Amino acid sequence: MSQNSWSNYWKGRENGSTGALTGVESDQELQAFWASALQDGSRERPLLDLACGAGTVLKQAAGLGYQDLTGLDYSAEAIAVLKSDMPSVKTVTASASETGLDAGGYATIVSQFGLEYAGTHDAFTEAARLCAPDGKIITVMHMTDGAIEAEVKNHAAHCQTILDSAYIPSARAFFEAAYANDTEAGDIAAKAMTEARDTLTTIIIPDEHSLAAHLMAGASELWSKRANYILSDITGWLDGMQAEVEAYHARMTAMLNAALDEEAVSACADFLRTKGFKVDTAPLSLSGHDAAWTLHAQRQA
């Protein structure tokens, strides 16, 4: 996933328009996993969250009493979201595979749905380098054929339908023609917009929030209240929605590409064992379905 796509995605997260990633960040079973995994750690010693995003795990660690927290992410926009929520947390903008941080500096290293984007071999090589002689690495990683992956596929397909429909470009052309009093261009754009709207209607589930529903409702409201807006207000909103859909689609696609099968997770564990860690891996079940991989590695003295 490109740096620009990550930036656009996190800009959407910052202004609240995209919402929590597939709803999983606030899952109670996932929170329970971290509460248990972090329970016996030293609260005074440094904890590092690799590919921290908005800091979901850092917030939980802070709630458990961890005092020396650092969040690292590739996206400056993600770090900005984190800093706005947790000003006291130390932050680093870098890849999880090449952090630039001092070796052996962290007693606890965590990552939730993040480290694997940097490539598991390089990221775990770096995590092992950063881990203190008696430290530990705890990760939750995307799973192929799991419950989260199934949901992500649906989100990706939803975004792809929006993009393929060309609803946003046709809506933009329609508004531009209307503001220019260009009847001929308006008729052409209206036809294209109607066809696109009919396509999007097929993927909207009643009473369920979605990007397609938000997009169509927003465009309808702008049309009904167009007397209150100049054209640039409307096209600016439409362009912003286009960027958000593209970024979210890229994010979902990246998640699918980053998902690991059992063989890949076993390879990660075997690699860490060569670095002196005792490693346990297991599926994480959410709502009764295997959804992610967990890896807990304790460095042996």
Say if strands 277-286 and 289-299 run parallel, antiparallel, or are unpaired: antiparallel
User: CA distances (Å), 92 to each of 4, 78, 246, in order?
Assistant: 18, 11, 26
Query: Residue 38: enclosing H or E segment and its boundaries?
Result: none
* One domain for residues 73 and 104: yes
pLDDT for residue 145 is more than 50: yes
pLDDT at site 207? 74
- Is-contact 90 70, C-beta < 8 A? yes
* One domain for residues 24 and 118: yes
pLDDT at site 10? 47
- As a whole number, mean pLDDT of residues 239-265 equals 94
pLDDT bracket for residue 25 (50, 70, 90): low
* One domain for residues 134 and 152: no
pLDDT for residue 29 is more than 50: yes
What are the backbone angles phi and psi of residue 268, rounded to the nearest 5°?
Answer: -60, -45
pLDDT tens column, 162-205: 999 999 999 999 999 999 999 999 999 999 999 999 999 999 98
The domain boundary residue, chosen from 239, 255, 271 = 255
Structural domain boundaries enclosing 163: 148-255
pLDDT at site 171? 98
Amino acid at the residue 157: A
Q: Determine if residue 119 is left, alpha or beta; phi over 0 gives left, psi from -120 to 50 gives alpha, anything else beta.
A: left
The helix/strand/coil state of 289 is strand
pLDDT bracket for residue 294 (50, 70, 90): very high
How many domains are contained in the chain?
Answer: 2
* One domain for residues 208 and 221: yes
* One domain for residues 138 and 10: yes
Largest CA distance in the chain: 78
pLDDT tens column, 102-142: 999 999 999 999 999 999 999 999 999 999 999 999 999 99
pLDDT at site 22? 44
* One domain for residues 13 and 131: yes
∠ CA 187-189-193, nearest 5°, is 115
* One domain for residues 217 and 168: yes
* One domain for residues 118 and 209: no
pLDDT bracket for residue 257 (50, 70, 90): very high
* One domain for residues 75 and 167: no
Return all residues near 181 (Cβ < 8 A) that are at least 6 apart. Answer: none
* One domain for residues 215 and 111: no
pLDDT at site 205? 87
* One domain for residues 8 and 115: yes
Higher per-residue confidence, 26 vs 104: 104
pLDDT for residue 9 is more than 60: no
pLDDT at site 18? 34
pLDDT for residue 26 is more than 90: no
Q: Is the pTM of this model over 0.95?
A: no
CATH code for the domain of 293: 3.40.50.150
* One domain for residues 165 and 234: yes
